[in-house]
Chains A and B, each alone.
Chain A
Amino acid sequence: MRAALTFWLALAVGGGATVALAAPAPSDALRLHRGLGPDFERPRVRVYPLLDQTALANPRGERSNPAAWDAFVAALAGRTNLAVQDPEATRRSITRRAGYAQALRLARSTAERARDDHRRARLEAALAGLRTAIHALQEIEHHVVAPPEVARLLLLQGQAQLELRDAQGARDSFERALTLAPDVRLQPGTDSPAAVEALEATRHNLAEKPPIPEDHLRVPTGLRSTQHLLRARQVGDVLIVTVQSAGGLREEQQALAGLTAAEAGDRLASRVWACLPFGRAPRRSRHKRELLLDAGFHYQVFANSPVVDLFSNLGIGMNASLTVAPHLSLDANLALTNSNRDPNEDLRQDISTVRVFLGPGFTWSAGFLRGGANLGFEGMTISDVVTTRNVHCKFDPDAHPLCNAAADTSRSGRAWRLGPALALNGQLHLVEGIYLALRISAGLTLYESVDNGLGPPITGQLGLGYAFD
């Protein structure tokens, strides 16, 4: 026994291994080439606008050519396994967030009051207002939508700090402003010479080693596993992309020298694509195995009968349905019935029937309704059938002189039958787990031990059931 178990286990493991070796998983490139289904779950990649830090080193603040960046975005968007949101779409999505417009209006109002305080030399109040406004604007990512607007508030904050003799604070504010908008400047002749000098000194210091924006260094909290952020900056001839995922950060750099913009963009896109998850085909919904049990009243008529009129049979029925695969079930039905009187009372004793059905079924569901059809085999046993058409034998077979009980009464013994049957069933979901069940069926007789004159049964069952998960 143990040896046999080991053999089958080894066979199963070996077989599994053989299957795994025989069918290696296709590469991502091959999967992309083959095409992805409409339900493919693509990683969402949000691309933020490029931060061009080349302007820090450029005395006139001229920007670099964004062609390589544009080529990168286009190449990445061409990877159809990714759902890429380009920078412009990212800006639009930020401005469409709930509460964005209201928060912006409030922050701008606060900033305006701070400017007024600054003009009136209420420096402390101006500084407090500017801090509030800048914080509020960064909270709603307005520095992504309009970097110069937030940078100019930071410049004003630095000016106020200078006037309050907080040189270090002023340098920090100027550095933050230049990090957001490298080409932002003060106006010589309008702004104080000390402030202009301090800003340019900060710019000069940053030109050698451009700062990494705080946004690029931390993964936002609450980032979903299927969502990825790309933040990029260009420093001289190098394009640097930071990939932010729930699992952490990753940086990819691409030197632009000696390459066309398209080549550089494509190479960087390939590397970034490689470090992003490919996405996945929709999970096949795991089949939920369910057992439905119901019981209720059972009604039955025989298609033919040895008496003049059809007669009904009433009883109880129980039904069990086990879903073994999507849309496929295995059904069993047990019914016990007893005959009612026929109109002429030709039946002289009750007919008891026990019927068992077993067969596979096709099922479907739509909202509160569930239906199915079964084709299976039915076995049944029918008790003795005693009939007479002599009215006097019905009144009293022993006493009435016009009744010859032996000649006028027909008897057949217990019968056993087997044959195919078709059943249709429907269930109406009532409350949690409980349903109303209706089932109708009809069968044929292939084998019968005794011909009692009764035709194949046609049945109906109405009951209540419970679905077990």
Chain B
Amino acid sequence: MTLRLFCLIAAALLWTSCGAEREHTGVWQQVCDEAAPSPCGDFVYELHLGRYGSKTSGLVVRYHFEDVSLDPYQRSDECGCFFVEGGRADDEGIAFALHRADEPGRPETDFRFPDACGPAGVPPPDCVGRRFELSEVDGELEGSSRCGSDTTPIRFRKVAGRPRRACELPE
């Protein structure tokens, strides 16, 4: 009886530090298989998110996409990196925009983007004001990517790994 009481109290104390406010934190990759809501275009996105209560921060890495049968999330296929701004979060999902979408960041100072990324290896700017609005459905984030009046359905799947903190990777 005493042991049970002790465990209950200990569990109650520990529970106070394990709330839902960290949900959505992690690495999410855009899904491009046949079940995806729409076919992927030239680029796919990888979200590196951190949720802190009702706010979200992080960065979005864009990769060049060629074939559904290949893994597009390779460093060599990276095609721009953008910070998150205006991120909001609740139990239903998250929403955020890209900060300085016209100035894609690169993983290293002398990183050469793949040719397919853009002319002469220069990554094209993303849509200024691009906004993601995503809800969690069965462990995946599903929603839309909006650019002006253009709205594209999009879906992300969580993958293992710690979120990347900066566009430039530590050496």
Is B truly associated with A? yes
Residues of A within 8 A of B (CB): 297, 299, 308, 312, 314, 340-341, 343-346, 391-392, 394-396, 398-402, 430, 436, 462
Q: Are B53 and A308 in contact (CB under 8 A)?
A: yes
Which of B107-125 touch A at CB < 8 Å? none
Q: Are B85 and A398 in contact (CB under 8 A)?
A: no
Q: Are A344 and B166 in contact (CB under 8 A)?
A: no
Supplied contacts A343-B53, A344-B52, A391-B50, 15 more A-B pairs, CB within 8 Å: A297-B9, A297-B13, A308-B53, A343-B21, A344-B21, A344-B54, A345-B21, A345-B53, A391-B57, A392-B83, A392-B85, A394-B50, A395-B163, A400-B57, A402-B85
Residues from chain A with a CB closer than 8 A to the CB of B21 are: 343-345
Q: Are A400 and B53 in contact (CB under 8 A)?
A: no
Q: Are A341 and B58 in contact (CB under 8 A)?
A: no
Residues from chain A with a CB closer than 8 A to the CB of B99 are: 401-402
Complex partner residue of B57 from A297, A395, A436, CB under 8 angstroms: A395
Complex partner residue of B6 from A308, A340, A462, CB under 8 angstroms: A462
Number of residues on chain B facing chain A (CB within 8 A):
29
Residues from chain B with a CB closer than 8 A to the CB of A400 are: 57, 83, 166
Residues from chain A with a CB closer than 8 A to the CB of B13 are: 297, 299, 312, 314
Q: Are A391 and B87 in contact (CB under 8 A)?
A: yes
Main secondary structure of the interface of A (DSSP, over half): loop
Given contacts A401-B83, A401-B99, contact A345 B52 (CB under 8 A): yes
Closest B residue to A463 by CB, please name it. Answer: B6
B57 → chain A closest CB, angstroms? 4
B69 within 8 A of A: no
Closest B residue to A430 by CB, please name it. Answer: B2
Q: Give the docked Cα–Cα distance between A297 and B9 (Å).
A: 10
Residues from chain B with a CB closer than 8 A to the CB of A299 are: 13
A313 → chain B closest CB, angstroms? 10
A425 → chain B closest CB, angstroms? 16
Residues from chain B with a CB closer than 8 A to the CB of A344 are: 21, 52-55
B126 → chain A closest CB, angstroms? 15
B56 within 8 A of A: yes
Interface string of B138-171 (1 = CB under 8 A from A): 0000000000000000000000000101111000
Closest A residue to B54 by CB, please name it. Answer: A344
Complex partner residue of A391 from B9, B14, B52, CB under 8 angstroms: B52
Closest A residue to B19 by CB, please name it. Answer: A343
A7 → chain B closest CB, angstroms? 56
Interface string of B36-72 (1 = CB under 8 A from A): 0000000000000010111111100000000000000
A294 → chain B closest CB, angstroms? 13
B17 within 8 A of A: yes
> What would be 28 A-B contacts, judged by CB atoms less than 8 Å apart?
A297-B9, A297-B13, A299-B13, A312-B13, A312-B16, A312-B17, A314-B14, A340-B17, A344-B21, A344-B52, A345-B21, A346-B52, A391-B55, A391-B57, A392-B85, A394-B50, A394-B52, A394-B57, A395-B50, A395-B52, A395-B58, A398-B166, A400-B166, A401-B83, A401-B99, A401-B100, A402-B83, A402-B99
Q: Are B165 and A396 in contact (CB under 8 A)?
A: yes
Residues from chain A with a CB closer than 8 A to the CB of B16 are: 312, 340
Q: Are A297 and B10 in contact (CB under 8 A)?
A: yes
Residues from chain A with a CB closer than 8 A to the CB of B2 are: 430, 436
Q: Give the docked Cα–Cα distance between A436 and B56 (Å).
A: 44
Given contacts A391-B57, A394-B52, contact A399 B19 (CB under 8 A): no
**A-B pairs with the 7 shortest C-beta distances?**
A344-B53, A399-B166, A395-B57, A391-B55, A340-B17, A396-B165, A395-B50
A387 → chain B closest CB, angstroms? 12
Given contacts A312-B17, A340-B17, A343-B21, contact A392 B57 (CB under 8 A): yes
B22 → chain A closest CB, angstroms? 8
Residues from chain B with a CB closer than 8 A to the CB of A399 are: 165-168
Residues from chain B with a CB closer than 8 A to the CB of A401 are: 83, 99-100
- Scoring A344, A346, A396 by chain B CB atoms within 10 A of each residue's CB, the highest score goes to A396
A388 → chain B closest CB, angstroms? 10
Closest B residue to A438 by CB, please name it. Answer: B9
B6 → chain A closest CB, angstroms? 7
Closest B residue to A299 by CB, please name it. Answer: B13
- Scoring B14, B53, B163, B165 by chain A CB atoms within 10 A of each residue's CB, the highest score goes to B53
Closest B residue to A436 by CB, please name it. Answer: B2
A314 → chain B closest CB, angstroms? 6
Given contacts A297-B10, A314-B13, A341-B17, contact A395 B165 (CB under 8 A): yes
Closest A residue to B48 by CB, please name it. Answer: A395
Q: Give the docked Cα–Cα distance between A346 and B21 (Å).
A: 12
A391 → chain B closest CB, angstroms? 4
B33 → chain A closest CB, angstroms? 30
Residues from chain A with a CB closer than 8 A to the CB of B85 are: 392, 402
Q: Give the docked Cα–Cα distance between A401 and B165 (Å).
A: 12
A341 → chain B closest CB, angstroms? 6
Residues from chain A with a CB closer than 8 A to the CB of B100 are: 401
Closest B residue to A393 by CB, please name it. Answer: B57
